[in-house]
Amino acid sequence: MNKHNDLDTVLAASAAIETAETVQAPAPPVVDLSDKSYYIHRELSQLQFNNRVLEQALDERTPLLERLKFLLIFSSNMDEFFEIRAAGLKSQLEFGHEIVGPDGIPPKQALAEISEIAHRQIARQYSILNERLLPELDRHGIRIVRRESWSSAQKRWVQRYFRQEVAPMMTPIGLDPTHPFPLLVNKSLNFIVELEGVDAFGRDSGLAILPAPRVLPRIIRLPEEVCEGGENHVLLSSIIHAHAEELFPGMEVRGCYQFRLTRNADLTIDPEEMDDLARALRGELSSRRFGDAVRLEVADNCPKTLTDYLLKQFGLSEAELYEVNGPVNLTRLFGIVSRSHNPQLLYPPFVPAIPKALKKAEDMFQVISKQDVLLMHPYESFAPVVDLVRQAAKDPAVLTIEQTLYRTGATSEIVDALVEAARAGKEVIAVVELRARFDEESNLSLATRLQQAGAVVIYGVVDVKTHAKLMLIQRREGEKLQRYAHLGTGNYHSGNARLYTDYSLLTSDAALCEDVHKLFSQLTGMGKLLKMKKVLHAPFTLKKSLLDMIAQETAHAEAGKPAYMIIKVNALTDAKMIRAFYKASIAGVKIDLLVRGTCCLRPGIPGVSQNIRVRSIVGRFLEHSRVYWFANDGDERMYLASADLMERNLDRRVETGFPIEDRKLRQRIRKELDVYLSDNTTAWELQPDGNYARLHPTDAHSPHDVQQQLLEKYCGAGAAAAR
């Protein structure tokens, strides 16, 4: 064998060994992304968010009345949770149609866990109120005066108030065979009264129900002349307790106990039996007040015999009973905040900024025709959006205004401008989503008002809510028709724009405006899907495009390139999106998720989600903006959107995601995302076990509060004074 043959033999052997090693090399472990332990139950995650809101009531850096507001917001959130989320699970059991999500928890188990957590949270809420907030309010001269503490003058005033204002409105209902237990309105304040004696008709059932009139305030501020320093308030429930016997003359009141019933408040409209959505919705609204019972709240001094009696009347179990140490209708305490004369106990006021380009602009169209304008609410004013509609209403060159309205209010400035435009003979097309939960009645009212002014009102698409935030103005400029658009992440509601963080884009970009026009055409008319150039829209292209962008980032990581994405939304529940994030994490993509509320993804699982960090910001403003950012190997992509990453948003709603293509605007938003990610004061980080840990400054890191920093940046240091 010559040398060449020897070399060939060695090379062949080496190749064989290398091939064998390649074949025998262990493949990376395959991760089963259907593993139930990788997912958090949606309703249990929602309770975690409610708990984060409650925790704000204990944050001593927050002004005292704002802390009270957080406690009351928690109460309002829990009301809606039981009315919608818990009620939905209960309905699944009653109708034998159980839906089990990727977390694998069946409705019955979920309800049991909800009961355990909610009882613990609500008991803590009343403890915070009674042991922390009320004593602190008292030290600042704001008091809820209890019956046993009324002075003689206060007793006389309360008695007059009861006889003049309360008693004439009360309708006691004695319980006997001819007076069965009344049908009580959802979340109304009621009293169960134990009586002794025989009435004029010889009845002695021993029980009566007292519904508190809904027209009366639940908390009443005492006049100065009977106050004993500061602001004195009394509860309507205390007034009724103190004088219940006057409502049952000749009878002895042995006990009077407040209670409140929460009912299923979701609306169900069968599209197959509906030919007029507005009429069908009007019919359903009244039923919301009398849906199936889901929760009973009673005063904790109510005897067990009576609570058992009430539970039996409502068909509820012990697990659905909540015995509370205080008023059963806490949200009505907002009256203390609204009527207080203690501004030092509230957040300092601020004046939202106006962008430099619009400060001295008399012609909005002229500015927007030259450049895109980005607004970040509430730090920047919502007024330019309102001004644009107002100018369009008065401008004779404007021909049409098209707008989606989801949560707006019938008396809003936006609606006023649309009414003015319609009366001026302009073509006004309003896509009003009647089914915006708990705003249905208001939306019916604004739809009627617009129709009466001559606007064309469309109610969107049956079974697909119109949640996109869009406005399109068409204006005759010389020989051409010029379009202007507003696209936003929030609602056309000036009040919310002072409380919610959202982005607004004002643009005359031809392709974007054409896409908005196409979307309105799809909503108002009929036809095949129209292809968009720039806008991603649900339920057609938004979800697929997002999954494609996540997959692209995953491919970059697999190719050894740096890969990173930041997603800011209100909620993340869609299983396909979660699996896509897990795959990206496994490939090595760094992922920062800013999820204010419900999050079903479980971060920090070794080998699955160790590259994912989930943060929730809970502060002065409700974080509402949605941003999708992808590094994309240096060619970054950024979209602002109306959609959260939920099945309902991505699969069953009309939503939009619109690109930010201007480099300066994109850099600005990207820097703002970094400020969110550096927050160590109002941020909470989701742990692998599904709980959240509050972040705190350390010796090595100074405090960073994103909302304070943005207030200082846009509105000046005075607006973000020490909390």
Centroid of chain to Cα 149? 39
Task: Please list the helix, strand and coil fractions of the chain in percent, rounded to the nearest 5, in that order.
Answer: 45, 20, 35
Q: What's the token pair of residue 126?
A: 């009343």
- Rg of the chain over CA atoms, in angstroms? 30
Going by C-beta distance under 8 Å and a sequence separation of 6 or more, which residues neighbour residue 638? Answer: 627, 628, 629, 630, 659, 660, 666, 669, 670
Asked if residue 680 belongs to a known ligand binding site, the reply is: no
CA angle 445, 448, 451 (to 5 degrees): 150
147 marked as part of a ligand binding site: no
Report the side by side order of strands in the sheet with 219-221: 142-144, 231-235, 219-221
Contact 162, 243 (CB under 8 A): yes
Phi, psi angles (nearest 5°) of residue 439: -115, 15
Burial 218-246 (b: 16+ CB within 10 A, else e): bbbebeeebbeeebbbbbbbbbbbbbbee
CA distance 376 to 367: 18
CB 489 within 8 A of CB 502: yes
**132 is known to lie in a ligand binding site:** no
Report d(CA 320, CA 111) in Å as an integer. Answer: 10
- Residue 194, Ramachandran bin (φ over 0: left; ψ between -120 and 50: alpha; else beta): beta
Q: What is the DSSP letter of 355?
A: -
In the set 467, 486, 517, 704, the catalytic residue is 467
Whether residue 500 is annotated as binding a ligand: the answer is yes
What number of H helices and E strands is found in the chain? 22, 27
DSSP string, 402-418: EEEESS--TT-HHHHHH
Q: Which two tokens mark 582?
A: 């897990």
How far CA 291 is from CA of 183, 365, 509, in Å, comes to 10, 49, 48
Find out whether 186 is annotated in a ligand binding site.
no
Any idea of the CA torsion for 225, 229, 235, 240, to the nearest 10 degrees?
Answer: -50
For 582-603, b/e burial (b = at least 16 CB within 10 A) is bbbbbbbbbbbbbbbbbbbbbb
Q: Is 61 annotated as a binding residue?
A: no
Does the annotation mark 467 as catalytic?
yes
DSSP code string of 71-100 = HHHHHHHHHHIIIIIIHHHHHHHHTT----
- DSSP H helical segments within 95-166, as ranges? 107-128, 134-139, 152-161
Question: SS3 for 269?
Answer: coil
Q: What are phi and psi of 395, to 5 degrees?
A: -75, 120
Instruction: Summarize the annotated binding site for Mg(2+) as residue ranges.
Output: 407, 437
Binding site per annotation, positions: 77, 407, 437, 500, 596, 624
Active site residues: 467
- Name the binding residues for ATP: 77, 500, 596, 624
